[in-house]
Structure 1
Amino acid sequence: MTKWWREVRRRLGVAAAAGLCVASSPGAAALAVDVGHTLAAPGATSARGRSEFAFNLDLARTLARALEDRGFPVRLINEDGLIASLQARPQAASGTDFLISVHHDSVSEHELRPWEWEGQALNYNDDFAGHSLFVSRDNPDTARSILCARIIGARLQRMGFVPTHKNGRRRAYADTQHAVHYYDGLAVLRHARMPAVLFEAGIIKNRDEELLLRDEARIRLMADGIATGLAACLRNGLPADGEAEADARP
């Protein structure tokens, strides 16, 4: 167990003792949790050969439960991995008030290094680790999308999770401190009719982080942070001027 993960576990105990979960309330917003990728197109392959879809499914299910525990009606999209298209994801979320799409990150092909794991020829990159978030300025409510992404990012960092700035090499920042990026062309975000965020939980090509991303206690902790951030955003958050300006772009 790494020193970082021991500290995260300590913080989890402190958070539980402090009673930081948001109490449920009547008339709560309905949320859609999308499992990124499919069985046929499972996304990236981890350093030890596990599909991104498998990682996404574990976290999305845990997040859905954490949101339900906070009194939110939740629609879990693509749990069977058989969804027909990218556009079908926001369509499946129709009628909800917020969409979060769950993913796990990789690195560019030219940055990968070969290694062997249990007889398999695989690849890895240990240079990058951490979560990041994405929003689209083509979404009809970019302002609230940015606000919720910021609050999720801030909550996770308070809990000890560290974001990656790897994606800042290619994607402009909506919020540098909390690793929130603009990715306007992402279909799941721009076709959504509600505020939407794509969450990258970590980098599965990193051999150490891959093991953390498989840890059930850590998955629960991350889901708790995301759910707490979303609850705070949807129940109490008001977009700042800078966030609202993102909706006014030509």
Structure 2
Amino acid sequence: MIIPKTSEEIELMREAALIVSRTLGLLAKEVKPGVTTLQLDKIAEEFIRDNDAVPGFLGLYDFPNTLCMSPNAQVVHGIPNNTPLKEGDIISIDCGAVKNGFYGDHAYTFKIGEVSPEVDKLLRVTKESLYVGIRELRTGKRTGDVGYAIQQHCEKEGYGVVRELVGHGLGRTMHEDPEMPNYGRRGKGKKIVEGMTVAIEPMINLGTRRIEQLADGWTILTLDRKPSAHFEHNVAVVDGKPELLSTFGYIYEALGIESDEEKEFRQKELVL
């Protein structure tokens, strides 16, 4: 059952989402060759707790850490470890936080130094597909419209769209209705309603869409071991249109990137 949120609840969710956004912005300064994912995990946990929030992933379904850290061929749910990142890697950092009784949950795939042109394009197209999907999140449309838009944008480039893992509703629990697949058919799926709050998160592979899980019970990898990209935003339906609750603005500020990609999804300007 979809749980629409009041305007007051949506603003509380925005606070939770922005804790995650700020955490990712902090990590953007630290993601570099030689650093380990466990070091980044510790930084994230301390920052979230220092800002009167609680790590949203730590202990959830018995997950052992604050961040899901998934480099290169890992799609999602990678467990932080002591292996240093190296030049040319990419890494999806997925972060969750609970504040005001609500979850924030989003992700960004970072480049470690210079990456190959084909990997750079994968990241660009995957992030584009996130906004292509968000644009479809309007009252009267259906979840299949969102998934179809993402799927078409990525498959026309020859990329594999993961089927087994999907976005989701978000609120007082990490996973609410509806599921938000990154594939689908127009006019199919659950109807998008006012006040709906979701996490939209394309998981797109350079090669095959097929995946497998490691023996640790968490880590998901591409079957052909080619790289995978993952970007995620938290979005509410406000006045019939998509309203971003999260931002990549803190990441861009840390990395010196100028972007207006989020502008159309905000009813008022976000002050960082």
Higher percent of residues as strand: 2
TM-score by length of 2: 0.29
Higher percent of residues as helix: 1
TM-score by length of 1: 0.31
- More RCO (CA 8 Å, sep 6+): 1
